[in-house]
Structure 1
Amino acid sequence: MIKHIVMWNVLGIDAADRQRNALRIKAAFEGISQRIPGLLKLEIGVDQSHVDYACDVVLYSEFESLQALAGYAIHPEHTRVRQELEGLRITRHQVDYIP
Structure 2
Amino acid sequence: MIRHIVFFSARRPEDVPAVLQGLSILATIPHARRVEVALNAKADQIGNDVDVVVYGEFDDAAALAAYKAHPLYEESIRRVRPLRDVRMAADYVVETAVTG
TM-score by length of 2: 0.78
Q: In 2, Cα distance between the equivalents of 1:48 and 1:42?
A: 18
The amino acid across from 2:5 in the alignment is I
Number of aligned positions between the proteins: 92
Give identity over the alignment, percent.
25
Q: Tell me the residue number matched to 1:25.
A: 19
Runs of 5+ consecutive residues of structure 2 not aligned to the other structure: 95-100
Alignment match of 1:94 (pick from 85, 89, 95): 89
The amino acid across from 1:64 in the alignment is D
1:38-92 alpha-carbon deviations (Å, 9 max, x no partner): 2111111112327672211111111121111111222111001101222111111
Runs of 5+ consecutive residues of structure 1 not aligned to the other structure: none
Q: Tell me, what secondary structure is at the counterpart of 1:53?
A: coil
Q: Tell me, what secondary structure is at the counterpart of 1:85?
A: helix
The amino acid across from 2:61 in the alignment is L
Q: In 1, Cα distance between the equivalents of 2:25 and 2:89?
A: 21
